[in-house]
A and B are shown apart, each in its own frame.
Chain A
Amino acid sequence: MRESLDQWTFVIAAYAIVVVGTVLLVGWSWLAMRLAERRREETRK
């Protein structure tokens, strides 16, 4: 029996995983940088 797969399901899944993963990575890194630099400024006082 030949399996029928909707190729678009795989395409959408791949794009969703990469977009969500990349946005999380960029957002987390940016936030961690801002928090660490704010902490450094507070230790100057």
Chain B
Amino acid sequence: MHGFANPARFLRIARWLTPALLVSGLVLTAAAIVYGLFYAPAERLQGETVRIMFLHLPTVWLGMAGWTTIAVASFVEVVWRHPLAAIAARAAAVPGAAFTLLGLLTGSIWGRPAWGTWWVWDGRLTAFLVLLFLYFGYIALAGAVAREGGSSRIPAIFGLVGAVNIPIIHYSVLWWSTQHQPPSIGLSGSTMAPEFLWGVVVSMLGFSLLFGGVVLARMRAILADVQADARLRRKALEA
């Protein structure tokens, strides 16, 4: 794993992997959107609003996957001082927050016709809203540390502590009696009909590839800024 800690090796891989992930992600996401809007059948109970599921499930999955990325990268940063770990955690924060917000918005839009309300303070929705606030805190903290030059361990510890919310979100529908339905897809199988399941799988794969491409692009941007700043400082000292 430490072989990938070398920024030059990372850049060699990221240069071709970033556009590959983004293009394949855009193609699969576009296919899922076209299927969801024009080809998927209406559902017996939910009617046409079942189409929102093709966007809601991938966005909430990526909201949680984003913080899991932050937590894993933070662990690597704290334990092994991997030079790219802090950059990976910072790069995952904004896309993670964006997908969390999109998950909340699509859930709310689905809830109005399905539940008759835009919002309920149940366990799943509240824990997911807390995740968005944790992202805001992490983005502000990591940005301040990068600007002011503090230890990258400070946002890493925040990333690890915030990870406690991920199992709470996942198990909230099982632990508490909530308005939100139990998980539709699990390791043991799915309760969805095949015509919905395959659309959701393609959509989740497409959005996940896009997420990977965006994280790589943001890692490259942070790395380039760090290297440019270091060169400018060196030139100023030599002058």
Contact = CB atoms under 8 A, between A and B. Distances in A.
Interface of A: 3, 5, 7-8, 10-11, 13-15, 17-19, 21-22, 25-26, 29-30, 32-33, 35-37, 39-40, 42-44
B33 interface: yes
Contact of B224 (A3, A30, A39): A39
B37 A11 contact: yes
B29 to A, nearest CB: 7
A38 to B, nearest CB: 8
Contacts, number: 101
A30 B220 CA distance: 10
A29 B218 contact: yes
Contacts of B106: 14, 17-18
B86 interface: no
Contacts of A30: 22, 217
Interface stretch (B44-52, B140-148, B160-168): B44-52
B211 to A, nearest CB: 9
B231 A44 contact: yes
Nearest to A22: B210
A36 B22 contact: no
Most buried by B among A8, A18, A30, A36: A18
B214 A43 contact: no
A14 B109 contact: yes
- Chain B: interface size category: 35 or more
Contact of B227 (A14, A15, A25, A40): A40
Given A29-B217, A39-B228, A44-B231, A21 B48 contact: no
B113 A18 contact: no
A36 B98 CA distance: 21
Contact of A40 (B22, B95, B113, B228): B228
A42 B232 CA distance: 10
Contacts of A11: 37, 48-49, 51-52
A24 B49 CA distance: 25
A32 B217 CA distance: 8
Contacts of A26: 22, 26, 210, 213-214
B48 A29 contact: no
14 contacts: A7-B49, A14-B52, A14-B55, A14-B106, A21-B98, A21-B102, A29-B218, A33-B221, A33-B224, A37-B220, A39-B228, A43-B227, A43-B228, A43-B231
Nearest to A38: B224
B102 A17 contact: yes
